[in-house]
Amino acid sequence: MAFPLLTSASVTSRRRLAFLATLALGLALVLPSCEKLQEGVVNVIEFPEHEPRLAVTMFVSPGDTVVYATVYQSAGVTDTAGSAPLKHAAVALMQGSTVLAQGDSTNWADPDPWNSWYSGPLMKINLDEPLELQPGAIALVVDASPTFEPLVVTEEVPEEPVFDFLFEAYADSVDEGWGYVYYQHLVTLDLENRPGVRDDYMISIEVKEVFEGAQWSNMANPAFPDPRMEYNDACDCLLATDSGADNVSLANLVLESYAGSSDYPIEGEMRIRVRRPTDALANHLRSVDAYYGALDNPFSEPASIQGNIPDGFGIFGVTTEVVVPL
């Protein structure tokens, strides 16, 4: 059987008929909807009921003399009281059968409002000796019963970071005119890229000025844009990575540190601090930065904060570090 030939005129006619049929169908669908809008249509969408979960946070690093922890019960977005501290909880930091630190209801305290990363009550555990971590697994044990089942989170202690560096004092200056000059120190870092694993580094150039009550402050910035590192607000540090690629060199990372001006030179102690975080902690820091970066941008994708607490929220973060005076 031969198929009928379609001329340009017949094609145009059929297109017009198809358009008219589509238009009639669209009007048939829209008109009843307009009537409903005139009468008023209200759709009530209820928030899903929140199931409380355990929220735990602890960061540890060799040399710590104080360990902080938070143990909370999560709350839904409609709960005006917010998440609640579980002050009956007990925590223990263990490596093998050795208890490195432990805290209970007697360790809860309000944080220092002038020097704190957290605004609510937290557990402050003072150590008799600086914290020592051996290679291998380290565990955080949380007992918040009867509210929640006991929890154990295990991480591997990262290898100590390996790096070389070159420090150039007052290597750069900017003359603003009228005798006013800004100065910068330069630090060039060569970091280790281990084959077969992802390498992340938390980098700080810290200054402690010579006045009473001075604290170590990070002054590091990239000397020029470098895709291998970026400032991370969650750790107040430069976060560098090889993204898990063996062919990405982590050598020749150039950092600058503000050294003051001709009117007000910065004087005091100075050091370079390089930390190696666990993968979970590095992911957490990047997700926190992305989360807060998306809050003020109506066109960004919502970001969630990553953690390593099973069936809960928060992070058990472990780092090793090397500190070198400059």
Strand pairing category for 84-85 and 137-143 = unpaired
Instruction: Name which residue leads in pLDDT, 23 or 94.
Output: 94
The CATH class that applies to domain 54-156 reads mainly beta
| Residue 214: strand, helix, or coil | coil
Residue 302 confidence (pLDDT): 74
Residue 113 confidence (pLDDT): 64
Residue 290 confidence (pLDDT): 87
Whether pLDDT at 37 is above 90: no
Question: Which of 93, 97, 99 shows the shortest CA–CA distance to 139?
Answer: 93
Neighbour count for residue 276 (Cβ, 10 Å): 25
Residue 35 confidence (pLDDT): 56
Whether pLDDT at 228 is above 50: yes
Q: What average pLDDT does range 148-167 have in this prediction?
A: 96
Q: What average pLDDT does range 83-89 have in this prediction?
A: 92
Report the percent of the chain where pLDDT is more than 70.
85
Strand pairing category for 229-232 and 151-156 = unpaired
Whether pLDDT at 239 is above 80: yes
pTM above 0.75, yes or no: yes
What are the CA-CA distances from residue 66 to residues 63, 101, 243 (Å)? 9, 9, 32
**pLDDT-derived band of residue 23, with 50, 70 and 90 as boundaries?**
very low
Residue 32 confidence (pLDDT): 56
Residue 110 confidence (pLDDT): 86
Strands (E), the chain: 54-60, 66-73, 84-85, 90-95, 98-103, 108-109, 122-126, 137-143, 151-156, 163-177, 180-191, 200-209, 217-218, 220-222, 229-232, 237-241, 253-261, 268-277, 313-325
Residue 214 confidence (pLDDT): 86
Whether pLDDT at 119 is above 80: no
Residue 68 confidence (pLDDT): 94
What are the CA-CA distances from residue 205 to residues 17, 97, 200 (Å)? 74, 36, 17
In contact, 209 and 225? CB cutoff 8 Å: no
Residue 7 confidence (pLDDT): 33
Residue 27 confidence (pLDDT): 47
Strand pairing category for 54-60 and 313-325 = parallel
- Per residue in 44-67, pLDDT tens? 777 677 788 999 999 999 999 999
The whole-angstrom separation of Cα 52 and Cα 136 is: 33
Letter string b/e over residues 196-214, b meaning 16 or more CB atoms within 10 A of that residue's CB: eeebbbbbbbbbeeeeeee
Residue 15 confidence (pLDDT): 44
Strand partners, 203: 238, 274
In contact, 289 and 306? CB cutoff 8 Å: no
The whole-angstrom separation of Cα 118 and Cα 88 is: 20
Mean pLDDT, the chain, integer: 85
Q: Whose structure tokens read 């669908």?
A: 29
Domain boundaries, the chain: 54-156, 163-307
Q: What average pLDDT does range 171-198 have in this prediction?
A: 91
Strand pairing category for 268-277 and 313-325 = antiparallel
Report the percent of the chain where pLDDT is more than 90.
63
End-to-end Cα distance, the chain: 91
**pLDDT-derived band of residue 115, with 50, 70 and 90 as boundaries?**
low
